[in-house]
Amino acid sequence: MRKRKWIAAIVMALGAFPGCLWGQATGTVQGRVLDAGTGEPLSGVQVMVVNTRVGALSGEDGQYQVLNVPAGTQVVRVILLGYQADDQSITVAQGGVVRVDFSMTQVAVELEGLVVTALGIERQERTLTTSVQQVGGNELALVPDANMVASLSGKLAGVSIFNSNTAGGSSRIVIRGANSLTGNNQPLFVVDGTPVSNSVGTGVFGSRGYAAIDYGNAIQDINPNDIESISVLKGPNAAALYGSRAANGAIIITTKSGRGDRAVGSGVSVTGSMTFDDPLKLPDYQNQYGQGWNGRYSYVDGKGGGTYDDYDESWGPRLDIGLMIPQFFSEGQLAPWESHPNNVQDFFETGTTGMVNASLNMGTEAASARLSIGRFDQNGMLPGFRLQRTTFGVNASGRLTDRLQAQVTAQYLNVDGANRPGQGYSSDNPMFGFVWGGRQVDINLLRGHLYNDDGSQFNWNNRWNNNPYWVATVNKNWDTRDRVIGTGSLTYQFTPWLSGMVRSGTDWYQDNRKRIFAAGTLGQSGVDPNGAFGEGTVFRQETNTDFLITANPSDFGDFKVTVNAGGNRRDTNYRSSDVYVRDLVIPGLYDLGNAAVTPELGDWREQQRVNSLYAAAQVAFRNYLFLDVTGRNDWSSTLPEDNNSYFYPSVSGGFVFSDLFDVPGLEYGKLRAGWTAVGNDAAAFALVDPYVASTPFDGVPRYSASTSLRNFDLKPERTEAWEVGGEFQFLDDRLGLDLTYYNKGTFNQIVPAQISALTGFTSRYVNAGTIRNTGVEVQLSATPLRMENGFEWEIYGNYSKNNSKVEELYGDLETIVLDTYYGVSVEARKGEPYGQMYGRLYARDGAGNIIVGSNGNPLNSSSNPVGVVGNYNPDWTGGLGNRLSYGGLTLNVLIDTRQGGTVFSMTNRYGVRSGVLAASLVGREESDENGVPIPTSEGGGLIVPGVKVVNGDTVPNDIRTAAQSYHRSLSGIAEPFAYDATFVKLREIRLGYEVPRNLTDRMRMARMSVALTGRNLFMWTDVPNIDPETALNSGNAQGFEWGQLPSQRSVGFSVSITPGL
């Protein structure tokens, strides 16, 4: 009785219900629903009288009764998940009783119908009250990509993906804008119910002067072929049950199980693919002037012994006019001064990426299992680069007793990398010598010729730059990651409506890394003459243990109630240790015993625990009105004892209004709305001030006060969000639309706020700051053509736009600088959008003309105004996929775009400064017989359009400046190198052919398909010389490009075979 009361209360809370009203001329419809196959009664079947507001659910005996059915001819419809819906037409007389029985036919549950939600709970799509987008594994692996995250590009609304251009590098993924000022803004990844790490490691050797290596984000270890589906829980609303870390959304990965291919039964399936990779876009270089300075160059030793032979810039003599000049290869002799237009292109090799995957499915009535083995081999476009991944996967489940079900999933992953490139502004980045550089250099002379006779490095320059092959293949690095992700669960069915589950899962990995710097390496701080090396280990483990009780009592008439309650304990352990040796006794022996100096050591340990209890309830009314309520309480180890418990609720509702109202042309319509809060804890050790050790000075130990002040008063952070949305299917289900609007704010953020260094510290952990994100997401699916001959054309589109605003910072603080590179800072400024980029602008007069100085160059001093040069966040993003199929042929084409946003390009800035880019030719079109550009006194150089200041007034500029002087002066200003990062990419294309049955039968195959694939085939952008889709790292300071490796264009083929057994 009590139960009924609170259900009634909920109904009242929802407002007076149209379904509760009835007319006067009514009758009753009743009957029984049976399984057509077994003849068993079916309970929980939704019975509705179409175009009325009445309906019922069948009971345990399959019986149902619908009262108050309007008199007249009516259609009765039965709906049950896993069964074919059925209609019967009847005539109801006033006061009469009509009996209608149904036998429902079981159908394979379509993936689209079921969606994996938080805690791995599968739900029928129509019952969802929040925005969840699901991508099938088949869609994901359509066009092979090494990085699972990168392969989501263009497929999801509301999800921004920033891919680094490095093979094996990381991708940053942010859902609905950044929540956190300075913390992690990437979603939580969950594999088979176990949260897994996506932490990126840039190295274990600390900041020792050389470039970090991008070891990739950890989630890319997952073999895309093992993925059954990916559910993207876009906001805190959908993800609230996952707790703190899901404030950024969650990405739920379900691996394939033995059940998946029910049609095949037991079977083996093999897929393989091979792609060939080459650069999508290389900078546009000039080929008219070679290395040097003011038109002069002559090589003696490459380090200043000759005429500007140490200058790694191309302001030297003109090429290809018959000049003879001593060069690095000519041993002091004169050699032809000629251009080598392909000297960068020729550095890159054709990369190959091969993937092979074999899986075995076994299934009996009681148990099923899938085993899979995957192998991924990449030899990059970059010489020496290699990445290998071997994966083993098991997914087994079985019914141990009538009531007890067990499931085990495990993945073992091994990732082996070699010679990953250094990132950013460093001679450790192979692109360094192409952003600077001499345009006359013939790269073929450097390939395979790395040493001089005396053992020193053979190169075109011996002061700043290394031979690019030296960087790529002599200064080696290796890394190996062993990783196990495993989950085991037991589910016990207490009664037909009550079950309990206990689950434990762990994600464990250990990373071993080593880097060597050979004797003779140039331009590396921390590398002494005999060479240096560093090695280290990172260990990380996260273990989650939870229990979940699920109750589905079904005896509430029109109401269906599902209750979940559970708890979780999360333990995270992290350890790293590393050693760096900056000089060796014997060159070439990279062993600790061979250290010539005291090794520098690093060591770190960290652990965290969060305990949680949570509960969720859904009330469904006649399967068209849904209400979800969740609550979760966390206790975190990283917060002060008084503040370490925090509760956060959510409530959301969904209404399938098309069940009630007949809207012409609309088959299905649902509205949803929800509100939620999510709390979050601090990083470990944020409460007590530590002291930081430095390497002892000549044996004397040193400790310094940390520059970052801790805070023992921290409170949990809080994110609050609401969203509304709707899903619509029109025109015989040939047009579908999903719209969402969201608004979320994160408050009381735990940030290391910068403070005046006069305090003795530079930052302090505080609870401060609010970021608000609002945005819209649109998903569209359409079938413009569906012809009788089987030809079908489907379109999938998505669009998203996010606006962010930093509403509050700490106290009077006006900005938090997220990072500064090369004079441009990325900031969170109060009142501005998150990710705003600031740098020096051109000095301009009132009319906007550029002001030049007395040398005729644009003013570039520190007195130039500092202003907004852009914001790295795009204005909007979108993707458009097309699928055309006819017979066994399928063509998939995916185009995606990012509109707006800013990229600050150092390749352009320094490439112009160093005179290597074609853009630096302006003003040096002509040269004299020695190849020296015509001096300004003889009409050479250029007059910069703008104004000069004479006696306080501005007059049109008439001062000639030399090209070298002008182009070099520009790098003092950020504005000219900040570009609108808009691009459109032909992201994926695939032409697949399913071999017809009669042929496969003859070959004793169950299935066989072949496909031609292409990825990143074309790009349209106005940004010169680079791919604007770039990421220096996966942190919050985006929008910087420095010496990006060219992004990969891949073409290849794939074959998938399922032999007959």
Partner 1 sequence: MKTRIAQRAVTALVLTAVVSGCGEGLTDLNVNPNEPVSVGAEFLLPAAIVSGAERLHGSSLNMDMVGLWVQHYAEHRYTIEDRFEIQDGTVSGHWSSIFAGPLRNLYEVVEKGREAERPNEVAVGTILESWLFQAATDLWGDVGYSQALLGRESPPDMTVVYDTQQEIYDGLLSELAAAGAMIVPSGPKITKGDLIYGGDMEAWRKFANSLRLRVAMRLSEVNSIGASAAFASALGAGVFTSNADNAVLRFVDNGVDVHPIYGYERNRDDHSISATLVDTLKSLSDPRLPIYARPNAFGEYVGTKNGDQTDPPLTEVSRIGTYFSSAATPAVIMSYSEVLFLRAEAAERGWVAGDAGDLYEQAITAAMSQIGVASGDIEAYLAQPSIQYQGGPAGLAQLGVQKWISLFGNGPEAYAEWRRTGYPNLQAGPDAINDGLIPVRLPYPDRERSLNRVAVEEAMARQGGATINSRLWWNVR
Least CB distance from residue 788 to partner 1, whole Å? 56
Q: Count residues binding partner 1 (CB under 8 A).
A: 98
Of these, 706, 783, 849, 954, which contacts partner 1 (CB under 8 A)?
A: 706
Spell out, one character per residue from 512 to 541, where the chain touches partner 1: x when CB under 8 A holds, - when not: -----------xxx-xx-------------
Measure the CA–CA gap between 607 and 85, rounded to whole angstroms: 52
**Residue range at the interface with partner 1 (CB under 8 A); choices 19-27, 263-271, 350-358, 689-697:** 689-697
Between residues 582 and 909, which has the closer beta carbon with respect to partner 1? 582
> Taking CB under 8 A as the rule, does residue 498 contact partner 1?
yes
Which DSSP category does 165 fall into? S
> Taking CB under 8 A as the rule, does residue 762 contact partner 1?
yes
Residues 266-305 that bind partner 1 (CB under 8 A): 293, 304-305
Find the helix or strand (DSSP H, E) in which 569 lies.
Answer: strand 559-581
CA 1027 remoteness from chain centre: 17
> Taking CB under 8 A as the rule, does residue 596 contact partner 1?
yes
Of these, 754, 914, 920, 1021, which contacts partner 1 (CB under 8 A)?
A: 754
Of these, 688, 787, 847, 950, which contacts partner 1 (CB under 8 A)?
A: 688
> Taking CB under 8 A as the rule, does residue 125 contact partner 1?
no
Least CB distance from residue 1032 to partner 1, whole Å? 17
Beta-bridged to residue 786, according to DSSP, are 792
The answer to whether 459 and 501 have CB atoms below 8 angstroms apart is: no
Residues 132-161 that bind partner 1 (CB under 8 A): none
**Residue range at the interface with partner 1 (CB under 8 A); choices 238-246, 800-808, 813-821, 988-996:** 813-821
Residues 429-468 that bind partner 1 (CB under 8 A): 463
Of these, 162, 308, 979, 1042, which contacts partner 1 (CB under 8 A)?
A: 308
The answer to whether 871 and 902 have CB atoms below 8 angstroms apart is: yes
Least CB distance from residue 225 to partner 1, whole Å? 37
Least CB distance from residue 536 to partner 1, whole Å? 15
Least CB distance from residue 919 to partner 1, whole Å? 21
Measured CA angle at 476 (ends 470, 478), to 5 deg = 160
Measure the CA–CA gap between 130 and 678, rounded to whole angstroms: 15
Of these, 343, 372, 475, 608, which contacts partner 1 (CB under 8 A)?
A: 608
Which DSSP category does 843 fall into? P
Measure the CA–CA gap between 870 and 885, rounded to whole angstroms: 43
Of these, 690, 790, 831, 996, which contacts partner 1 (CB under 8 A)?
A: 690
Least CB distance from residue 572 to partner 1, whole Å? 10
> Taking CB under 8 A as the rule, does residue 687 contact partner 1?
yes
Coil, helix or strand for 215?
coil
Between residues 107 and 601, which has the closer beta carbon with respect to partner 1? 601
Least CB distance from residue 912 to partner 1, whole Å? 15
Measure the CA–CA gap between 169 and 125, rounded to whole angstroms: 35
> Taking CB under 8 A as the rule, does residue 587 contact partner 1?
no
Spell out, one character per residue from 615 to 654, where the chain touches partner 1: x when CB under 8 A holds, - when not: ------------------x-xxxx-xx--xx---------
Nearest to 229 by CA among 251, 213, 246, 262: 251
Of these, 756, 937, 951, 998, which contacts partner 1 (CB under 8 A)?
A: 756
Residues 947-986 that bind partner 1 (CB under 8 A): 965, 972
Measure the CA–CA gap between 1042 and 434, rounded to whole angstroms: 12
Of these, 6, 685, 791, 1020, which contacts partner 1 (CB under 8 A)?
A: 685
Measured CA angle at 769 (ends 764, 774), to 5 deg = 150
Measure the CA–CA gap between 913 and 934, rounded to whole angstroms: 19
**Residue range at the interface with partner 1 (CB under 8 A); choices 113-121, 367-375, 609-617, 902-910:** 609-617
Measure the CA–CA gap between 304 and 89, rounded to whole angstroms: 95
Residues 199-218 that bind partner 1 (CB under 8 A): 209
Nearest to 750 by CA among 786, 694, 710, 697: 710
Between residues 900 and 935, which has the closer beta carbon with respect to partner 1? 935
**Residue range at the interface with partner 1 (CB under 8 A); choices 228-236, 382-390, 595-603, 951-959:** 595-603
Q: DSSP string covering 67-135, please? A: EEEESEEEEEEEE-TTB--EEEEEEE-TT-EEE--EEEPB-PPPGGGEEE-GGG-EEEGGG--S-EEEE
Question: For the purposes of burial, counting CB atoms within 10 Å of the CB of 521, is it exposed (0-12), middle (13-18) or buried (19 or more)?
Answer: buried
Q: What are the phi and psi torsion angles at 897 (to 5°)?
A: -145, 150
Sign of the torsion angle spanned by Cα atoms 916, 918, 922, 925: positive
Of these, 603, 925, 938, 1001, which contacts partner 1 (CB under 8 A)?
A: 603
Between residues 89 and 695, which has the closer beta carbon with respect to partner 1? 695
Least CB distance from residue 683 to partner 1, whole Å? 10
Q: DSSP string covering 768-793, please? A: --EEEEEEEEEEEEEEEEE-TTS-EE
Residues 563-582 that bind partner 1 (CB under 8 A): 567, 569, 582
Q: How many CB atoms lie under 10 A from the CB of residue 528?
A: 16
Spell out, one character per residue from 333 to 372, where the chain touches partner 1: x when CB under 8 A holds, - when not: ----------------------------------------
**Residue range at the interface with partner 1 (CB under 8 A); choices 158-166, 177-185, 671-679, 703-711:** 703-711
Beta-bridged to residue 627, according to DSSP, are 619, 653
Nearest to 824 by CA among 836, 814, 808, 816: 836
Least CB distance from residue 650 to partner 1, whole Å? 20
Contacts of 103 (CB under 8 A, 6+ apart): 33, 34, 35, 36, 39
> Taking CB under 8 A as the rule, does residue 694 contact partner 1?
yes
> Taking CB under 8 A as the rule, does residue 787 contact partner 1?
no
Between residues 541 and 645, which has the closer beta carbon with respect to partner 1? 645
Between residues 528 and 928, which has the closer beta carbon with respect to partner 1? 528
Instruction: Look at the block and give the residue holding tokens 């009262």.
Output: 67
Least CB distance from residue 444 to partner 1, whole Å? 29
> Taking CB under 8 A as the rule, does residue 496 contact partner 1?
no
Token couple for 826: 């990325």
The answer to whether 710 and 690 have CB atoms below 8 angstroms apart is: yes
Least CB distance from residue 640 to partner 1, whole Å? 8
Which DSSP category does 462 fall into? S
Least CB distance from residue 337 to partner 1, whole Å? 19
Q: How many CB atoms lie under 10 A from the CB of residue 40?
A: 9
**Residue range at the interface with partner 1 (CB under 8 A); choices 84-92, 854-862, 868-876, 1032-1040:** 854-862
The answer to whether 917 and 911 have CB atoms below 8 angstroms apart is: yes
The answer to whether 139 and 153 have CB atoms below 8 angstroms apart is: no
> Taking CB under 8 A as the rule, does residue 543 contact partner 1?
no
Coil, helix or strand for 225?
helix
**Residue range at the interface with partner 1 (CB under 8 A); choices 38-46, 478-486, 814-822, 1013-1021:** 814-822
Least CB distance from residue 550 to partner 1, whole Å? 12
**Residue range at the interface with partner 1 (CB under 8 A); choices 192-200, 358-366, 752-760, 950-958:** 752-760
CA 278 to each of CA 282, 348, 372: distance values in angstroms, whole numbers, following the listed order: 10, 8, 30
First to last CA, the chain: 57
Report the b/e string of 999-1022 with b at 16+ CB within 10 A: ebeeeeebbbbebebbbbbebebe
Of these, 32, 715, 764, 844, which contacts partner 1 (CB under 8 A)?
A: 764
> Taking CB under 8 A as the rule, does residue 604 contact partner 1?
yes
